[in-house]
Structures are given as structure tokens and as C-alpha cells.
A and B are shown apart, each in its own frame.
Chain A
Amino acid sequence: MALGRKAPGVRREQGGASQSEPLLQVRGLHVRFGNGVRAVDGIDFDVAPGETLAIVGESGCGKTTLGRAVTLLLRPTEGQVVFDGIDLTKLGQRKLRTARRDLQMIFQDPYASLDPRQRVGEIVGEPLRIAGMEAAARRKRVAKLLDMVGLGGDMAGRLPREFSGGQRQRIGIARALAADPRLVICDEPLSSLDVSIQAQIVNLLVKLQAELLLTYVFISHDFAVVRQIATRVAVMYLGRIVELAETERLFRAPGHPYTVSLLSAVPTLSCSKISDDQPQLLAGDPPSPARVPTGCRFHTRCWLRRQLGDPSICTSEDPALSGDGQQKTACHFSAELLAGNSEHRRLDVGTNG
């Protein structure tokens, strides 16, 4: 047993942060790659204990890079990642390894994220072995973990290829939970799964959150799932958060024109015989993150800007993310958008939808 650490499975004493403080604080985060790509271009956000913060956006928005930067799987170019009161960016490898036990990740591809040559028991027990837990105790904990994620404890001797995608995702979840983390970053955990299996995994994640007092950062492009499980949503575009709001607020009254475009593009299950055509609000492809537009980065595709007659501030000034605890947006004309919201598609079918 490594010195100075309690056994996993026992709730550790907290670090510097008190119960009311955010569990994770990200400040001024930048990730720049050598080819000029600004994947994460100045991000600030907090995650409160027990919440589920969803990070949504399309390809190239930087959400996966953000997930990796926050877990320090890649080193941010700039900025701070304060987890439980400690700035992870300032830690050396050894201390980082210890800190990371509380901050785990579940990956997108259940076929690529498990070593095909290791037995399931070894895969799930690896974090415990690294933490110094003895073999007998490890076996017991692994059996309990497999049980917790809905796989039989007797599956420990099998190889990943004997399992389906949904089952492999459960194995990935068991591994992430092995060291009893407090925060789990889920990077598109459902994308490779069928609809009926997705529902199983969503329900499992929700159940585990309640049982184990977990906090989630849920990276996804699937708005429907996000609406179901997130407490707050951050919408990313070209490396920045353009809207950060409580979930129901975001869906009923989006405050950023990009959010409006995204939501209007998602097909909803048609409940009427007349198929209503959604207005095509977003044209073309997003600019490359190596050539971010000046001023507001969304201005090149913004329908609101067109509607307001091309105000010059959109090309000259980069709007900051501002607002209150319920909703923050990075748009010069958020107020106008929110005032005129009834014209755009709103997603509150209400109680009889």
C-alpha cells in the first residue's frame, strides 16, 4: 500500500477545496498545436461537486482536446486546471499520477480503449495495482466493480474481444471507477453504441453518479442525451465556449446564434403529419481552427449578424463570455436574440409533448 493514501473504496479526505467550492476550476486554458491550430483558445469554467456539465460542439470545436487538457493527458500551452484546490498544471509526473486517481476518463471508442491482450480483470484492476493494492484485495474490488456496472463478477478472466461494444464500454467505466474518483470526464461514451444500448449506459452512468457521489464532465455532440442528463451545458465553437447555461434554459431560450443554429439542425421525432421545414440558419463549413476569424469568431456564419444589418462590432471585437449563473453567452447581441426568441424554434414541447 503506497504511503500517505487511503485504500480506494474509502472516501478520501478532501484536498484544499471545501464542499461549496467548485471541484474543478479551469482558467485561461489554451492549447495550441505546432501547425498554428488553436484547438482551445481561452476557456474558463467551473464544475460544482455532483453536477454534470456537458460540453457540446461540432468537429473542430476543441471539445476532445479540452477533455484531454483537463486530465493533463496533454499539457495545456497556457492556463490553470485547479482540481480540488490544486493546480494540476504545476505538478510533476509523480504527483500528477496521484492526483489523477480522483480525476478519471471514459473514452469514446470501446474497441480502441481496452488492451486486447489483457484480461478484463487486469484492465479494471490496473489503476489499483499502480496504487499499490495487493492482489487479493484487488480481485475483490474488481469483482465488485464489474458487478456495479452490470457485468458478472465472473467475467474477469475474459478478453475484451469476447464482449460487445456496450459491454466493453461498461468495462471502461469499471476501470475509470476503480480508484474511486470524484470527477469523471466522459468523452463521447455513447457514440459507438446502438440506441437501445445507449439508454442502458446512460442509465448506468446516472445510477453510478448517485451511488458514488460522482461529478461528470460529459463531452458529446448528441443534444438529446445531453438534455436528459446534464445540469449545465457549455457550447463550444472554434476553441471557445460561446454559451454556458443551465440545461433547460439552453434548450428553451438559447442565447447565442450558434446554439440556435445547432438546435434547429437536430431532427426531432416528427409528431405531425405535416413536415415543417426548419429554417436553414447555418451556411457552409466552419473555418479552420488554424485561421480563426477576427472579432467574433462566429461572425462569418452568423445569421443574427445578417439580420441586424452587419454591425461592425462583430468583425472588430471579440465578445467575452458574460451573463449570470443561469446563462452566459459570448455574443454582442444576446439580449436582442433572447428578446426575439419566439421567432426561432424553441424546444419546450412542455408536459404533453
Chain B
Amino acid sequence: MTIVRSPLLEMVDLSVQIPTRRGTVQAVNGVTFSVRAGEAVGVVGESGSGKSMLALSIMQLIPRPGRVVSGRISLSGRDLLQLTESAMRQVRGSEVGMIFQDPSTSLNPVLRIGRQVAETIEAHHPEADSWQRSLDMLRSVRIPDPEQRLRDYPHQYSGGMRQRAMIAIGMANRPKLLIADEPTTALDVTVQAQIMDLLRSMNADTGTAILLISHNIALVSRFCSRVLVMYAGRIVEEGPTFEIFNRPKHPYTRALLTALPRIDRKLPEGLTAIAGRPPDLAQLSAGCAFFDRCPDRMETCRTDQPPAFSVGPRRSARCWLAAKEDPS
């Protein structure tokens, strides 16, 4: 008998708009997905896909003048969008942690690292021995010589160590969900491998679900069990990682995979580029956003935005070509 767990995080029909001089930018456009407890889910996409805005919307950190215009974000059944800012502050750093691409801008340069980890603990657990917990956290993120390094300032840490410190801060209060937005993009590949290994153990040891946002498809394929592919503010394909990257159903996913240079083989025919550019998010048509660049486009794609069709268990593709596979 299978037990269906209710999801830890559930996003339903979320839309985020940013008013600009050129018009209203639809940064996130009707996004629906869920993350189960302990799951590692990846969000892949290129610039303008909306993946970072998605992450910020969960944390209610969308920079003004952007704002959520519709939808629901439930964490353990509670709609985050309905919370007051002070209630949301309770959620941030304790139930949901977040780590960003550039730790140099997230760490306070004039506070010792130990203090910054302790601060996040004290904000939610004023009774705790925060200094000891801080030390434990630095140890758990494998910072060598933690008793000494606690007293260092961020500039005394290398890039990889700063990211570890960010993970320590993000995980200090044992959140149920850790959002990692391009956590290794600014790091060397060997350091990236160390950080991903650390995140993998944290996911396994603490049961914290991880939402990994990245443009690095190979990285996501190695780390996440499920993946969402985003394009122009929408999820165009979603499902188990192996399925998505080995049998993609959306033309964008397919195009992305053939444009990807591979380290494990040389493609004698070269890379197949995707012609053209992503659409202007302030001037989206009523049809499919990928229409101009899609090798498989049909007339109906020009005028009608396809819904997300179900093409398997927990698998969907937002493409008219997938319509015939949908049982409903």
C-alpha cells in the first residue's frame, strides 16, 4: 500500500509581476509544483526563466517593485503569502533556509563568522547556547579547525569556505527546506564538488528537502531526484530527473540538451545551438513562449498557450505535442 505524503511545499498558480518602464514583466507566470519532505528538487533554466524569482517568492524576498499577483505558497499547509512580515521572519531561517550564489554579499564583512551563525540561532532560539551550536554547525559543514575559524572574518575565508559558512547559517535551525540559488556557480569545479557532496550529506542526514536552482543541467542531473525546467516564467517540463534528461518531452528541454557541450564525449557534428533569443517578458504573446524558436511548432502554438499535460506519474510537459499522451 502506498502512502501519499502531503507535500512539504506546495506552490499553486503563482504569478509574479514587475512593473517597468517598458511594461509589466511577467517574471513568474502561473507556476504550480510541490516538494515533498526530504526531496531534492532542481529548477533549471536560463536567464529570464524566472527560476531565481521563484526562489525569492518562497522567501517573500522579491525586490520591489516586483510583487506576487496571484497564487498560493503553502509550507506544511500554511499559506506563506498570507503571513505578516513578522510571522514570515519567524519562518525565514528556521523553517526555510536560503543560500545564494555570492556569499560575499550575503555575509556581513564586519562580523566574525561565528557571530553570524550564532545570530541566526539566537533569532529563533534565544535560550540556546548559540556559540556552542555555532561551533557544531561549522564542524558539520566540514570547516577545518572550527574553534579557530569561528573567530575569523569573512575576508579571511576562501570562496568555498564562505559558501560552507552560508550553508551553516542556512541550516543552523534545522529547516525543513533549504533553497540553494546557484550555490556553486561562482566556485571552482573542485570546490563545487565538495559543496555538492556536503549538501548531499545534509539532505541525507537531516532530512532537509533541498530546492536547487541552477543553470548547470549536469549538476542538477547528479544531485536532484526531480527537476523542473523553466522557460519565460513558466514550468515547461517537470518530472523525475532521469526521465526528463533521457527522454525529454518538451522541445526546449530537448534543444537545451543538444546545445550542451559534454565533458564525457566530443560531438562530431558540433553543438546544436538554439536559434534566436528568449522572449521579452514584458511582451509575451498569447501563444507558447517558445514558439519562435521551436523546431516542432504548429499553428496552434502561435495563438494558444498550452497547459501542462500529464505524461506520466508526477510528470508533465507544457506542449501541445504532449496533449495526446494525457489520459484526461
Q: Which residues of A contact B (CB under 8 A)?
A: 58-59, 164, 166, 194-200, 202-203, 206, 221-225, 227-228, 247-248, 251, 261-273, 275, 278, 280, 282, 284-285, 347-350, 353
Contact A227–B273 (Cβ < 8 Å)? no
Contact A58–B219 (Cβ < 8 Å)? no
A268 to chain B, nearest CB (A): 5
A90 to chain B, nearest CB (A): 36
Interface centre among A223, A224, A251 (most CB of B within 10 A): A224
Query: Considering only CB atoms, which chain A residue lies closest to B241 in the complex?
Result: A270
Contact B193–A278 (Cβ < 8 Å)? yes
What residues of B have a CB within 8 angstroms of the CB of A198 in the complex? Answer: 259, 261
Query: Considering only CB atoms, which chain A residue lies closest to B255 in the complex?
Result: A196
User: Is B125's CB within 8 Å of the partner chain A?
Assistant: no
Query: Considering only CB atoms, which chain A residue lies closest to B216 in the complex?
Result: A267
What residues of B have a CB within 8 angstroms of the CB of A285 in the complex? Answer: 158, 160-161, 191
Contact B277–A195 (Cβ < 8 Å)? no
Give bound CA distance, A199 to B196, whole Å.
26
User: Is B188's CB within 8 Å of the partner chain A?
Assistant: yes
Which residue from B194, B265, B273 sits with its C-beta under 8 Å from A196? Answer: B273
Contact A267–B221 (Cβ < 8 Å)? yes
Query: Considering only CB atoms, which chain A residue lies closest to B240 in the complex?
Result: A273
Contact B263–A268 (Cβ < 8 Å)? yes
Q: Mark B133-169, 1 if CB is under 8 A from A, else 0.
A: 0000000000010000000000000111100000000
Give the total of B residues in contact with A, Cβ under 8 Å: 47
A340 to chain B, nearest CB (A): 21
Give bound CA distance, A323 to B131, whole Å.
54
Q: Mark B268-286, 1 if CB is under 8 A from A, else 0.
A: 0011111101000000000
Contact B270–A206 (Cβ < 8 Å)? yes
Contact B222–A194 (Cβ < 8 Å)? no
Contact B262–A269 (Cβ < 8 Å)? yes
Which residue from A203, A262, A269 sits with its C-beta under 8 Å from B190? Answer: A262
Contact B271–A202 (Cβ < 8 Å)? yes
Give bound CA distance, A199 to B46, whole Å.
13
Contact A262–B260 (Cβ < 8 Å)? no
Give bound CA distance, A247 to B257, whole Å.
22
Given contacts A166-B277, A266-B263, 14 further A-B contacts (CB under 8 A): A164-B277, A199-B260, A199-B261, A200-B275, A221-B188, A223-B189, A227-B263, A248-B266, A265-B190, A280-B194, A284-B144, A285-B158, A348-B264, A349-B264
B63 to chain A, nearest CB (A): 20
What residues of B have a CB within 8 angstroms of the CB of A247 in the complex? Answer: 266
User: Is B215's CB within 8 Å of the partner chain A?
Assistant: yes
Give bound CA distance, A259 to B154, whole Å.
30
Contact A199–B158 (Cβ < 8 Å)? no
User: Is B256's CB within 8 Å of the partner chain A?
Assistant: yes
Contact B266–A227 (Cβ < 8 Å)? yes
A58 to chain B, nearest CB (A): 4
A159 to chain B, nearest CB (A): 17
Query: Considering only CB atoms, which chain B residue lies closest to A288 in the complex?
Result: B158
Contact B190–A224 (Cβ < 8 Å)? no
Contact B260–A224 (Cβ < 8 Å)? yes
- A196 and B242 in contact (CB under 8 A), knowing A280-B193, A282-B190? no
What residues of B have a CB within 8 angstroms of the CB of A203 in the complex? Answer: 270-271, 273
Which residue from B193, B197, B242, B261 sits with its C-beta under 8 Å from A227? Answer: B261
Give bound CA distance, A243 to B118, whole Å.
45
B153 to chain A, nearest CB (A): 17
What residues of A have a CB within 8 angstroms of the CB of B194 in the complex? Answer: 280, 282
Contact B215–A195 (Cβ < 8 Å)? yes
Contact A262–B271 (Cβ < 8 Å)? no
What residues of B have a CB within 8 angstroms of the CB of A284 in the complex? Answer: 144
Q: Mark B201-223, 1 if CB is under 8 A from A, else 0.
A: 00000000000000111110111
